[in-house]
Amino acid sequence: MRAFGGLLAGNLLLRERDIYAGLVDGELDRVVLDLPEPWRVVPHLPGALCPGGWVAAYTPSIIQASQFIEAVRADRRYVQIETHEVLLRGWHIQGLAVRPEHDMVGHTGFVSVARLIDEPLGEPREPGRPTRPT
């Protein structure tokens, strides 16, 4: 990070360690994961993330994204769970000639996010079945 700005930002914490063994920090607002098996970190997050904190995982395959999302859902302490495919398309901009590049990288990966809540959610209901009003 120093190569880009000279100094590290005061609100950025970088650690080089085996995150699968757990997180050593607490009271984190965000955790960004770019590793082969981000679902293995999910059990360690509630002790590290503040309630309302976000976890984001970048994965190159939809199978990895699915495994991460299923682990987050199974934990039952996350809301606002989403996955988005990241597409990259360059643009040619020269004066008034503005158009997308002819060549496009059609797929670069998936970003999945989830927000930690204070208490686990209630019992899951059967998928696809709406809740009955009481």
Report the pLDDT value the prediction gives residue 134, as an integer from 0 to 100. Answer: 45
pTM for this predicted structure: 0.76
Q: What is the pLDDT along the chain (134 residues), one digit of tens a residue?
A: 455 566 666 777 777 889 999 998 989 999 999 999 999 999 999 999 999 999 999 999 999 999 999 999 999 999 999 999 998 888 999 999 999 988 877 778 999 999 999 877 776 656 555 555 54
Q: What is the per-residue pLDDT across 72-86, written as a single tens digit (0 to 9) for each?
A: 999 999 999 999 999
Q: Cα–Cα distance between 45 and 47 in angstroms, integer?
A: 5
pLDDT of residue 87: 85
